[in-house]
Amino acid sequence: MIDARAVVSPRAQLGEGVSVGAFAVIGPEVVIGARTTVGSHAVIEGPTRIGEDNQIFAFACIGGAPQDKKYKGEPTQLSIGDRNVFREFCTMNRGTASGRGLTSIGSDCLFMAYSHVAHDCAIGSKVILANCATMGGHVQIGDWVQLGGLSAIHQFCKVGAHAFVAGGAILTRDLPPYVMIAGNPAAPHSINSEGLKRRGFTPEQIRNLRTAYRILYRSELKLADAIVQLQELARDNTEVQPLLTFIDASTRSLVR
């Protein structure tokens, strides 16, 4: 299962059924779970822990040193869950000692060609980064988020679960759950209703979230006043609560 032309460190740990293609390089302190496939010319550096059933395509660079001038070679980490797909030339960097010391990626994600996850990012599960989507350091991405091709996320931004970032959008502030944005600078357009339907949200839940969106973005209320109305709506509609939780945790102000 390991091509004779691959270079695998004796300090790497490969699980049962792992396959490694020609000219791939796997460094020390790399742990790869069962049945994961590593394509030709892919490079995996450590300390990196990769779960089971992942697919790493040709020329992907996983676990490289952070692109941060403050980094001085500290043994920071990258942690990856299960069943992710990393397409050609995507780059996933480890954390920094001055940050979390860890870049983390959940499970069931798709990282298309040339996408980039920077140091200290925290990526949820079932996330999609389309071609050339990229993010700065310390970004937090919730579950089920989709980033369109050539989109970019500023460092330290947060993106809530089920949000949608259109192709070419430039996000410099925090994006609440469920919201779709487009443009440069990115501006809100609507609730990600189609994505929510696909994930089993009921028509009533989607109507409630549309109401929440109108309160937050179309009522011309100050944020403090909008929060009061959202709290009322959330009392009987639990799907609205993640919006309030996200707003409370926002550090870069909201896209609004």
Could you report the per-residue pLDDT of 56-84, keeping only the tens digit for each? Answer: 999 999 999 999 999 999 999 999 999 99
Residues in the chain: 256
Given this model, what pLDDT does residue 4 score? 97
Could you report the per-residue pLDDT of 136-171, keeping only the tens digit for each? Answer: 999 999 999 999 999 999 999 999 999 999 999 999
Task: Give bridge partners of residue 25 from the DSSP assignment.
Answer: 7, 43
Q: Which SS3 state, helix, strand or coil, does residue 243 take? A: helix
Please choose, from the candidates 128, 60, 62, the residue with its C-alpha nearest in 3D space to the C-alpha of residue 88.
60
Which sequence positions are flagged as catalytic? Answer: 119-120, 137
Structure tokens at 207: 């109507």
Contacts of 173 (CB under 8 A, 6+ apart): 154, 157, 186, 252, 253, 254, 255, 256
* Structural contact between residues 123 and 107, judged by C-beta atoms closer than 8 angstroms: no
Given this model, what pLDDT does residue 202 score? 98
What CA–CA distance (Å, rounded) separates 79 from 251?
A: 25
Could you report the per-residue pLDDT of 208-221, keeping only the tens digit for each? Answer: 999 999 999 999 99
Binning pLDDT at 50, 70 and 90, where does residue 246 land? very high
Contacts of 213 (CB under 8 A, 6+ apart): 178, 179, 188, 190, 191
Q: In Å, what is the CA distance from 124 to each residue of 3, 25, 108, 183?
A: 32, 27, 9, 24
pTM for the model stands at: 0.96
- Considering only CA atoms, give the Rg of the chain: 20
Please choose, from the candidates 34, 39, 9, the residue with its C-alpha nearest in 3D space to the C-alpha of residue 24.
39
Binning pLDDT at 50, 70 and 90, where does residue 240 land? very high
Euclidean distance between the first and the last CA atom of the chain, given in angstroms as a whole number: 51
